[in-house]
Amino acid sequence: MATKNKGTQKHNYYKVEGDKVEKLKKECPRCKGGVFMAEHLNRFACGKCGYTEFKKQ
């Protein structure tokens, strides 16, 4: 049985309180414009351009 790919659910990346909108995920500094970075154990990585930031320990 094949399942349909739901794709990225970007509405889960924002939090709305009253009239304010807050981004819950880190945005890529190179791509900007709604491109969010994936959070791994020791780094943040952009899937579009490959930019990586390592977390401080």
- The residues spanned by each domain of the chain are 27-57
Is 46 part of any known ligand binding site? yes
The first and second tokens of residue 6, run together, are 């739901």
Tell if the pTM clears 0.85, that is, is over it. no
The first and second tokens of residue 19, run together, are 């009239």
Q: What burial letters (b/e) apply to 3-15, b meaning 16+ CB within 10 Å? A: eeeeeeeeeeeee
User: Average pLDDT, stretch 42-57?
Assistant: 94
Is 1 part of any known ligand binding site? no
Is 31 part of any known ligand binding site? yes
45 CB-side CA count, 13 A: 6
Is 24 part of any known ligand binding site? no
Summarised one tens digit per residue, pLDDT across range 16-35 is 999 999 999 999 999 988 89
